[in-house]
Amino acid sequence: MVKLALVALVVAACGDNAEPCGPDNFCARLSGWHLFDNIADQTPAPGVVPYDVNTALFSDYATKNRFLVLPQGAPATWSDHDALDLPVGTLLVKTFSYLHDRRDPTLGRTLLETRVLVHGDAGWHGAAYVYNDDGHDATLQIAGAILDESWIHDDGSQRTDEYVVPNENQCKNCHAEHDNTLTPLGPKVRHLNKAGQLEAMIADGSLVGAPDPAMWMRAPDAFDPSSGTLDQRARAWLDINCGHCHNPTGAARTSGLFLDVLETDPAVFGVCKPPVATGRGSGGFQFDIVPGKPDESIMVYRISSTEPEIKMPELGRNLVHAEGVALIRDWISAMPGGCTGFTGRHGQPTGHAPRS
């Protein structure tokens, strides 16, 4: 069942008409973009390239399918740290669904929404399409929606969620990684560096400017112990779930807590760092991270909560990511020492030193 977040919906009149879909003219239906040969099966059309990431942003246990569409003859350009420089005309497409039973993906799924992010002359613009009951098409929902969903979880229990489809304005709340400008988040080298994806793009000419492969960053799979150390995997989870806001140019930069993987100073990524603001969000604790003591760490308190005034991330989840919380708890538990006499970069005890 779909409960519209607002009464009025604004739809772009295209798809069934002659006018093509575009960043300023979003089609009323997903089918108008001609992205899939079979929408229900998510079979991409020619030129629509599936891709994956090493660790996914948690979205209330939804499964995701990701696709990239580059304009003909216009390749992406390499970036060591930020998202690939994607040319005007690029589409990034992500479909969210719930498996009927997470223990057995062959039992089918319920398609929830497909988000389309388009690079136009004036920048990036995004919107979401909510699926019809039969899953054969989806309708543009500028105002967002709430979907009552259920599934069988990993442990065999029945789970439910009021899954939130963001409204058009909320795209920027997460995607404003750099100075309030909407940009892609997932297609970064460190996230894409898996299963030969980057090599394939270079080989077919759709990615240029790559350095020697020995220089490529790679984020581990946060939940695969063989892919990295506990520290590397915990930092990867924080990077993908929190780093788009908690970085020097992100929406949470005033917190002084930088959780993208490029930050290397423990005092700045939270170790013995006092919070900028107190109140319910701090839980009465003194530090974002207390080495060896996850139960005294504000970070664990906030990622374990579902209360709007406390939870982090603020958007994109109603549920607690149990596996992510367990990973961060293990990471903090393994940290030696305590906060007495702790000093960070340049001997500053608060962790507010600028990134070098």
Q: Above 70 in pLDDT, residue 352?
A: no
Crossing angle for the helix pair 322-333 and 230-242, to the nearest 10 degrees: 130
Cβ atoms < 10 Å from Cβ of 316: 16
Among 131-140, 195-204, 279-288, name the one with the lowest average pLDDT: 279-288
For residue 207, give both structure tokens: 């990615």
Beta bridge partners of 157: none
Would strands 76-77 and 207-208 be described as parallel, antiparallel, or unpaired? parallel
Q: Above 80 in pLDDT, residue 345?
A: no
**Contact call for residues 17 and 158 (beta carbons, < 8 A):** no
Rounded Cα gap, residues 117 and 95, in angstroms: 12
Mean pLDDT of 102-127: 96
Q: How far is CA 247 from CA 170, 172, 237, 351, in A?
A: 19, 15, 15, 13
With cut-offs at 50, 70 and 90, classify the pLDDT of residue 16.
Answer: very low
Rounded Cα gap, residues 50 and 95, in angstroms: 11
Task: State pLDDT tens for residues 280-319.
Answer: 778 889 999 999 999 999 999 999 999 999 999 888 899 9
With cut-offs at 50, 70 and 90, classify the pLDDT of residue 335.
Answer: very high
**Contact call for residues 328 and 317 (beta carbons, < 8 A):** no
Q: Above 60 in pLDDT, residue 27?
A: yes
User: Coil, strand or helix: which one is 161?
Assistant: strand
Task: State pLDDT tens for residues 231-283.
Answer: 999 999 999 999 999 999 988 899 999 999 999 999 999 999 999 876 777 88
For residue 111, give both structure tokens: 């398609």
Q: Above 90 in pLDDT, residue 13?
A: no
Cβ atoms < 10 Å from Cβ of 10: 12
**Contact call for residues 353 and 267 (beta carbons, < 8 A):** yes
Task: State pLDDT tens for residues 175-193.
Answer: 555 656 788 989 999 999 9
Residue 355 confidence (pLDDT): 38
Mean pLDDT across the chain, nearest whole number? 89
Residue 344 confidence (pLDDT): 44
Q: Above 80 in pLDDT, residue 346?
A: no
1 or 202: which carries more pLDDT confidence? 202
Rounded Cα gap, residues 136 and 255, in angstroms: 44
Q: Convert 209-239 to b/e letters by CB count within 10 Å (16 or more is b).
A: ebeeeeebebbbbbeeeebbeeebbbbbbbb
With cut-offs at 50, 70 and 90, classify the pLDDT of residue 337.
Answer: confident
Q: Convert 36-56 to b/e letters by CB count within 10 Å (16 or more is b).
A: beebeebebeeebbebebbbb
Task: State pLDDT tens for residues 148-158.
Answer: 999 999 999 99
Q: Above 50 in pLDDT, residue 8?
A: no
Would strands 63-69 and 145-152 be described as parallel, antiparallel, or unpaired? unpaired
Rounded Cα gap, residues 235 and 264, in angstroms: 10
Q: Is the peptide bond before 313 cis (omega within 30 degrees of 0)?
A: yes
